[in-house]
Structure 1
């Protein structure tokens, strides 16, 4: 291989290394901070190809998209002195990479640690003035806006803007949950006992009214029956009297035969009478027509 060709290859390699060390690309989703020997020199927000001084300047990329920071569950004391285990998350955006770099450097973990502390403090302050009912109701949006406002005020010098703070889960501690469940059970039992007592009272009133109406109806029915029975007996007596007046002898015969039928037909009656008694006169001789 000729020496000139080797020299050309070496030059091309040096140029490639130099170009790689000189030129860099900023993606659409990022912004860059140009740092020279630890001191910020320029902020690059336009995507595309850019140049730097090799070996002297370094490029730090910062994501311009919406970032998430999830916080572990922590115990918070509410305004009504109830304890609550709160899981929250924060969404933020890097708006000023220069202030960001000056405050915490290029590390993302550093800003997350600071953000967790600030959001946790705001969360405790705001929830410390709220009740459990307010936290678990539609009023939560107002509470979250207040937490975000306070957190943004404290993070103003860090080059980020907090877009949203949300409570992902809010649970009572295990001992509080058991106590509340026991209290709810006692309350339900009290309501059930009260409902049963009111039901028993209403049932007793209904039974008393029904018994009273039954007594009144029976008394009215007995009175009506006695009245009808008296009217019937009166009519019967009148019919008997009319029949007797029309034909007294036939009436006597008919009544005597009716007595035979009622007294002797069953075979279970025992009469101690003389055969010559007047009761048996129509058994001894046939009645004569009048």
Structure 2
């Protein structure tokens, strides 16, 4: 009888310990928790670190990051307003601002990254398509372009004029952020920042740019050749004029000498 009572107490103690351990859970400083019951969120998200209590067995702990997370978008080819194709690579930073809404709409980080791909990719295409190529690649509209001193001449310039910068790359990034942030917020996510990581010329655009550079240099070379031919013609003309003057002066002197000789004879 005594042995049976001891066994019962031991079993009861183990059962209580098991129930208590199933009812307690901890939250670290870097995470936040949403409790679900039969798959549905219960109560508000738990964001305070420490020891917490839930109903054992029927309630589950869903843990989410509290730290800032990175989004690295895929490289995508897209057109600019002036019909040039560039390859755009973007990145951003985000965090889970509403864990319960995040759980209801997305479930996990993989789904969140996919949704960010869709929204940020779409807004990037929309913004790039509304602006000329130069707006996307130039950081500042006030930046002065370097000048090749070897091409400086006193004559009229044949260089291709650079279009005026209205916004610049930084403003385009801000526009993408303003358009995307409200849409992303609907998924319990706060978008912190979005930037262009890399902008590469499409092969067709590169050929166009190189062709433009070659054309500009050819125009300058042709002007130099034209000026050289003009100078050569000018020098040749001066030479012929000087020769005529010398011949005329010599003929005049010959006539004077012959005249004096005839007079003396």
For the criterion TM > 0.5, the same-fold answer is yes
Instruction: Say which structure, 1 or 2, has more relative contact order (CA 8 Å, 6+ apart).
Output: 2
Using structure 2 for the length normalisation, give the TM-score.
0.71
- Shift in Å, 1:153: 2.0
SS of the residue 2:186 aligns to:
helix
* Residues 12, 186 of structure 1: alpha-carbon distance in 2 compared, 3 angstrom cutoff: farther
Residue of structure 1 in register with 2:154 after alignment: none
List runs of 5+ in structure 2 lacking aligned partners: 140-167, 250-265
Using structure 1 for the length normalisation, give the TM-score.
0.65
1:44 is aligned, of 43, 46, 52, to 46
In proportion to residue count, which structure has more helix? Answer: 1
- Shift in Å, 1:196: 3.5
Q: Which consecutive aligned stretches of 4+ in structure 1 deviate over 6 angstroms post-superposition?
A: 2-9, 206-209
Distance in 2 (alpha carbons) for counterparts of 1:20 and 1:207: 107
Distance in 1 (alpha carbons) for counterparts of 2:169 and 2:205: 21
Residues 18-65 of structure 1: CA distance to partner in whole angstroms, max 9, x if unpaired? 333221111111111111112211211111111111111111112121
SS of the residue 1:116 aligns to:
helix
Tell me if structure 1 keeps the 8 A contact 2:85–2:204.
Answer: no
- Shift in Å, 1:17: 3.4
Alignment of 1:204-215 (within 5 A): 205=234
1:99 is aligned, of 77, 98, 101, to 101
Question: How many positions carry a matched residue from both structures?
Answer: 218
1:172 is aligned to 2:173: no
Residue of structure 2 in register with 1:86 after alignment: 88
Distance in 1 (alpha carbons) for counterparts of 2:228 and 2:101: 72
- Shift in Å, 1:88: 0.9
Residues 243-285 of structure 1: CA distance to partner in whole angstroms, max 9, x if unpaired? xxxxxxxxxxxxxxxxxxxxxxxxxxxxxxxxxxxxxxxxxxx
- Shift in Å, 1:183: 3.3
| Bigger Cα Rg | 1
Residue of structure 2 in register with 1:159 after alignment: 188
- Cα RMSD, aligned residues only: 3.1
1:56 is aligned to 2:73: no
Residue of structure 2 in register with 1:73 after alignment: 75
Distance in 2 (alpha carbons) for counterparts of 1:89 and 1:187: 36
1:133 is aligned to 2:134: yes
List runs of 5+ in structure 1 lacking aligned partners: 223-290
